[in-house]
Structure 1
Amino acid sequence: MTHGRRAFLASCMASAALLMSPVTQAEEQYPKKTVSLVVPFAPGGSTDILGRMIAQHYFKDSGVTTIVENTPGAGGNIGAAKVARSKPDGYTLEIGAMSTHAMNGSLYTSLAFDPMKEFVPVAMLAQAINVIAVKPSFPAQNFDELIKHVRANPGKVNYSSGGIGTHNHLTLALLEEKAGLEMVHVPYKGGGPAVTALLQGEVDMFAGGASLLLRHAEAGNVRLIAVTEATPSDLVPGVPSASEVASDFVVTNWYGVFGPKGMDPALVETINAEINRIVALPEVAQRLKGMGMIPLPIKPGELAKMLQQDYDLWSKTITSLNIANN
């Protein structure tokens, strides 16, 4: 090899190294300063608990602090907007929910950001098992009987929710649409009061997270009729999937980590691997189980696909039901 050719190749290699070095350095150095996990809801809820679990273990060996920043308001939109406006460097991330990204874009008419286009799906935290529960005196003993009873009594069966447009509301509104039912929606100010209404017999039915209902079911104060996922869950043994009767009625609820658009794909992969490591830790998996959730470690592309499917479902449902908030 001639001296000139060796010099040319050396120059090319040096140039390639310079082009690659920023990504390499980003992977090697992240995190080098405090990471903020923005929870767009008030302290104490499921999203907040998940954020604090992640913060406790997030790149622990780096010695860098990870903080949880609660920024509640407007159904999660205020906190989400803060993340959308942040630098795409991985130091400001959102602990989001399926509702904040798959539902809110259609539910809120005056958002200052696009929950689908202005974020990068980074990692899945957990899937929350969703159940349909009825009061003990409700005549139906299973989901098939429930459908038949509601059909035979149009406008006479009611259900509670945490408010108009909440996951509780939209789950049973979707069931009405898919199964051709007519029920009465009774909105309350939050999931807790909605469950209390069911316990006190003020309403017939409620759909929500297993964590809200398991202990009441074990005490005999409510009856779990079905899970809304495509398959039954070991977390609620003996409770079948509603899809066994209504094949096109499947509702999931999940929590994930999102970053602002423009994040380096290599950095997204690095954070994804760390989140997947954390949710697989035995103590974290056990805590999730106690919350009625299961770990679901998947790649960013798989989360993006799930998000798109849910967005398509709920945008169509919300539009057809003519539900919207300002």
Structure 2
Amino acid sequence: MEGIFTISLDFELHWGVFDKKDRQKRAACYRNTLQLIPRMLEQFAAANVHVTWATVGSLFAKDQQEWELLKPAIEPGYSLEQYSAYRWVAQHGLSPQYHWAHFAPQTIKEILRYPGQELGSHTFSHFYCLEQQHEPMAFEADCRAAQRAAALFNTKLTSLVFPRNQFNPAYLKTCFEQGITTIRTNPVHWFWSPVSNRGAGILRKIMRTADAYIQVGGTRTSYPLSSVQVIPGEPLRLPASRFLRPWRSEYRFANKWRLRRLCQELRTAAIRKECYHLWWHPENFGDHPEENMESLRILLQQYTTCREQYGMKSWNMGEYATHLFGVSQQNCIQSHVGATSYPQ
């Protein structure tokens, strides 16, 4: 068995930070992101790298009217209302002047044009699975809304990434019932363990940042394919290896250390014939687009070297399910999802 390189991207635009940032101040970042994605797709295609684009379902809509039709009837009743995308929209609206912050149907069509690029779910509303909320059916309704949005593009979602990495095993059965066969879990280090928004303290943030540049975790980041367990009635749990931190102007020398470390980890995974799972947000490239695209070029060049020297291959998240579940079981799951209607 060869080593496997996987990339999963959390595609959000403003839905990922509506509770923390002002959309107008992020206008340049979001516009840059939408312009960069076609270039990313070209680079992935040139290197034959398969990628899962875990996309917030709200981005599938073309405008607020369509978004209103797609959204679930059951909304999460968070104890802290600031976490509700629906409450935020009720207060701020989705005016056409902010289209670039909330909707990306043309970009989604572009992603689907490229072989090996998988459209995955990041939930419909950037749903927080570790926050207290009093609607027990809200997550299932959200999953249905995401599948309903994907159906507009004649596709089904089989891979999911929990927003803010709030992995919650209590939701795995629902994920599987809604057609999700692979989910991303967090890196093994304690400072990446799942916590609510309120639980992400300053020490965790410091450790996460430091680990991108120097070894502080104490555990290698790649893992054998055999460690990914098949549990009946649940999606595969595919651990993340590393978050690709964006280029920062104040860290000019550290940027090189970070990239060198990623390349070393990728090469180690190829030599050991293990899986290496890298993730980031496309929006992370929006503030320094050219510098970040150069980092991606170098990283993909390293993968090409690993493929040529060690036979490494690239899988998106869904391809793990095809391999580990088997084609027949995967088709059975998809037939069930295809036969399921998605009422509000």
Shared fold (TM-score, shorter chain, > 0.5): no
> Which structure would you say has the larger RCO, counting Cα contacts within 8 Å and 6 or more residues apart?
2
Give the greater-gyration-radius structure (CA). Answer: 1
Higher relative strand content: 1
TM-score normalised according to structure 1 size: 0.31
Higher relative helix content: 2
